[in-house]
Amino acid sequence: MERGQIENRLQALKGLNDDIFSTADGPMAKNTARVLLQIMKELVRAKGDYPLQLRLAHDFRMAAFGKPRIVRRLLKHYHLLEMPEEWNQITFDDHVHDANTSGRKSPTHLIMDAWIKGIRRLRVIYYHYIEPRFAAELIEAARIMEIDLRIGIEFWAAYRNSTISLIWVSRGLPDVDTFLCFLAEPHVVEFMEQGKAVLKFQEKCVLRLLSDFNEQKFDTLCRDFDIDMKRPVPEEFLRFAFPGQPSVLHLGEYIHSLAIFAMKERIKDLNQMFSMADAEEQQKIKQMVEKMDCFSAQDIISNYLRLSQHHGMPMLFDICNDIDLPDRLKINFKELLVNIEKLHHGFRITLNLGDLKPEDVLEILYESNGLVTRLEIVNLKDFILGKTDHIFSVNALQEAINDGSLLKLKRVVRQIITSVEQSDYVDKTDRLKKLVDVLHDIDALKNMYSVRPLKSRLGSDSNGRSNQTYGMGFGIVNTLTFRAKKEIQKYTRDRLILPANIKVNQRVTSFPINSMHPVLKWVMNILKRLPGLDQIMQVQKKEWVFEAFSMDMKQKGNIVTLGGIQKDIRNGLRLDLPDSEKNITEKSWNNLNTRLKNGFKVIIGFIPAFICFALTKDWWFLAYFGAFIWFGITGIRNVLQSVLGGGGLRRSSLLKWNDYISWERLTDSLLYTGFSVPLLDYVIKTVLLDKTFGINITSSPMVLYSCMALANGIYLSTHNAFRGFPKGVITGNFFRSILSIPVAVVFSSMVGGMLSFFGVAAVEAVLQKWATIISKAASDTVAGIIEGTADRFHNMGLRKRDIKKKFSDLFDTYSKLEFLFPEVEELKILEKSEELFNSRNSEVKDLARMIIINSLDLFYFWMYLPRARTVMIDMVSRLTPEEKIIFLQSQKILEHEQYISRLFVDGILGRNFSRPLSFYLTTYKNYLYSIEKIN
């Protein structure tokens, strides 16, 4: 993600996206995928630290199972908020930077990180111009991760002896091709060349600052830290900043990197001195190392690169008379807006408030004649620095403009005029004249925004470099999950809640399900006639919509930052001291070997079950074997529901019955079922019902089994909630116990009948002893039916996802082949597939190889994945006649044994190709025979 060419990065992101969604399982697939991506990033960063990498790999494996409790623990560990699985949250950032400006991350990496944080709308800002290749990478990466992307270009323009920041954002350029065509238009190329000249001037200014630092501040920095630092060199600095646009921020980081290298060399000497020094000298050495360790790039900028310390420096944010000043910086904002308007018919202009006051904003809005349609009401960097006094006043002006009330707008404008009259502006007279003109033409100002309202924007201005600011991303609290809201309220210091409120409403759209059995559809139509059930069995899409265009600035808002702030900045230098604490390998239950952990779970659950049966049962068989029977019921139920849910009776001959079983899930069930024995058998059945209320199998069997089922349902729901299961599972497990009541009564009657048939005396007493186990068997019988059915639908849902993706890739690839062979009759291209393999066109060969890969994937699904055969048969039956022909022809391409075998040997799956190759050669004919039958 950090290195390589653009195409390599995009291919990596696409492959990562496909793999991660295929890996993610469970009820929290989206959040699981976010955690898996984050762990993969940490694995790459931990290169060389093998114990840490091993722990991360273990976390990855545990997270991949999709267990809600583990996923939520890891989300919290990585400071990520849980997002709705519907992925309908309102999360955004209207101002971020990538590595091609002042940021640290490549466009692909930036998009990936935004998705991990849960951001759905992103606006990436460039300075003065954008290169086509950067735009192409951003747009394609955002398409892969399904992020709503806008590309903005920030311009600086003259305004009253200073500069203001205006951000142009493209509209109506939805894909890579249209955006690149726009950038290739002659007038756009000329405009962008003017932007390049501004950046060249900025580079010149930064290099002059570097030269001035070498002359005035270099020796000071070396003395302050007692280091022998290498002198900064302009050529090395430019290489350091590449591909970004050289800035003061880059210069600060470059000098910081040189200083850290010198500090590491200095610490080697301090290490030698430390052992021979006395206590006082050792303390001084520790203080010096601590000072070095906390030294940041921001300290460089604040203490050694401040413009006030370097006189005569021409900087872009101040009007200057430098002879090399570009033409773009000589024009005022009105001329710049006129030039921008000529670029493209679809665009939006955002005014970055910065240090602007309400009177400035009012004048700029009026002078822009309605071209400024957005206000960056909050820039997080400025907000953290305390530049917030003007925000509430500007927001009041924005609300007055959008309300359309002439009286309200007039009142706000008059208040601004009064404020200016009481100010000490040097140009007060001119300001008042402009504001009075606005007051006299206030109806025109109102009409400027009657059709296109003045909207708000919030940007973090994040570049991924500073540790003293919150990272990118904002979220509207109302649209997040319950647990995310709870975490925000609990850990208020970890995130910033902005004093701004955006009103949103939830909209629900229902789509009826048409693919249903006629009898079931008739039943559902009857049920929908009942009050309150009109939406039964309909797919519902939930989305959030904005109520207003502007924010309501309040002390307590509903907008929270998705990123936290790193308060403890370290360079890793203090660990080099002889007595420093080293990282100790963390040993915990979470990092325990999985098989060992599963064994402990079974033992921990078995102990209370065995003790309870041994101490409370008179009959030796129940006393010593009751726990085994209890665990056997749970284990058999879990195994059967997993096997049957995965299609075990019709499974592939390549799969064993235990391939369908999740042993982690089985051992969890055994752990919690063990603690239910003393609860149900002793506390509920014996103490509460029998001894307290006199309810037993003789007096009232129905009440006995009902109370036990209710207690079991409460216990199941409680530990399901503790384990972090979804609400649907918790509710289902509660009602499954209620459904088991009649089953328990039937079981009890059957056992009683059998005992009576064989002449056993005191049948009621025997049934009373076995009541708990009968209730358990009934509950697990119902659970096996319900959860087995749920497993079946879950597996079918996963297979639909997998096969749908493969069908989509297959048909897209075939469409590209049709485009390359316009003269060949449609649906005939794959009939002579060997011609594709031998084509001189490399693109044709690549597409043919992609068809083979997709066919091999479908082949693998059919032979190995649970419920794949059932789902594929159903999905193929729904294809159009043309799609069926393409599908069948693509699968027949597997008959080319020699070519496909060569692909395996050449490394299509890596070096370990022997088993996959053997699998292909021995089974593909049976697969093709089955495929022909379903067609």
Confidence at 617, pLDDT banded by 50, 70, 90: confident
pLDDT at 527: 58
Rounded to whole angstroms, the Cα distance separating 353 from 164 reads: 8
pLDDT at 517: 57
Confidence at 893, pLDDT banded by 50, 70, 90: very high
Q: What is the mean pLDDT of residues 118-125?
A: 95
pTM of the complete model beyond 0.85: no
pLDDT at 194: 92
Instruction: Provide the token pair at 341.
Output: 């308007």
Instruction: Provide the token pair at 796.
Output: 């079918």
Query: Left if phi > 0, otherwise alpha if psi is -120 to 50, otherwise beta: which for 9?
Result: alpha
Instruction: Provide the token pair at 736.
Output: 């499954």
Query: Left if phi > 0, otherwise alpha if psi is -120 to 50, otherwise beta: which for 260?
Result: alpha
Confidence at 128, pLDDT banded by 50, 70, 90: very high
Q: Which amino acid is at 472?
A: M
pLDDT at 443: 92
Is the confidence at residue 233, as pLDDT, over 70?
Answer: yes
Confidence at 516, pLDDT banded by 50, 70, 90: low
Rounded to whole angstroms, the Cα distance separating 814 from 827 reads: 9
Rounded to whole angstroms, the Cα distance separating 477 from 457 reads: 17
How does pLDDT run across 818-874, given as a tens digit for each residue?
888 887 887 788 888 888 888 888 888 889 999 999 999 999 999 888 888 889 999
pLDDT at 311: 55
Is the confidence at residue 391, as pLDDT, over 60?
Answer: yes
pLDDT at 296: 82
Identify the weakest region by mean pLDDT among 307-316, 454-463, 914-923: 307-316
Q: What is the mean pLDDT of residues 394-401?
A: 90
Identify the weakest region by mean pLDDT among 52-56, 102-106, 404-408, 639-643: 639-643
* Gyration radius of the chain's alpha carbons: 35
CA 522 and chain centroid, separation: 41
Contact 713, 720 (CB under 8 A): no
DSSP assignment string, 405-462: -HHHHHHHHHHHHHHHHTS--TTHHHHHHHHHHHHHTHHHHHHHTTSS--EEEEE--B
pLDDT at 385: 81
How does pLDDT run across 151-183, given as a tens digit for each residue?
999 998 888 888 899 999 988 888 898 999 999
Q: Can you give the residue ranges of every domain in the chain?
A: 405-449, 592-790, 821-934
Identify the weakest region by mean pLDDT among 108-112, 175-179, 207-211, 537-541: 537-541
Confidence at 310, pLDDT banded by 50, 70, 90: low
Confidence at 316, pLDDT banded by 50, 70, 90: very low
Is the confidence at residue 48, as pLDDT, over 90?
Answer: no
pLDDT at 307: 66
CA-closest candidate to residue 155, choices 408, 468, 368: 368
How does pLDDT run across 859-869, given as a tens digit for each residue?
999 988 888 88
Q: What is the mean pLDDT of residues 679-706?
A: 85
Contact 623, 637 (CB under 8 A): no
Is the confidence at residue 646, as pLDDT, over 80?
Answer: no
Instruction: Provide the token pair at 236.
Output: 């090395």
Is the confidence at residue 930, as pLDDT, over 80?
Answer: yes
Q: What is the mean pLDDT of residues 908-921?
A: 86
Relative to beta strand 347-352, strand 162-170 is antiparallel
Q: Which residues pair with 541 in a beta bridge?
A: 509
Three-state DSSP at 874 gives: helix
Confidence at 510, pLDDT banded by 50, 70, 90: confident
| pLDDT greater at residue 485 or residue 650 | 485
Most confident listed range (287-291, 357-361, 518-522)? 357-361
Q: What is the mean pLDDT of residues 314-334?
A: 71
Is the confidence at residue 569, as pLDDT, over 80?
Answer: no
DSSP state of 692: I
> Torsions phi, psi of 681, nearest 5?
-75, -40
Rounded to whole angstroms, the Cα distance separating 62 from 593 reads: 11
Instruction: Look over the chain and give the mean of its residue pLDDT values, rounded to a whole number.
Output: 84
Confidence at 530, pLDDT banded by 50, 70, 90: low
Is the confidence at residue 525, as pLDDT, over 80?
Answer: no
Is the confidence at residue 677, as pLDDT, over 50?
Answer: yes
Rounded to whole angstroms, the Cα distance separating 921 from 918 reads: 5
Three-state DSSP at 26 gives: coil
Q: What is the mean pLDDT of residues 87-97?
A: 94
Q: What is the mean pLDDT of residues 695-712?
A: 84
How many other C-beta atoms can be found within 10 angstroms of the C-beta atom of residue 201? 19
pLDDT at 196: 92
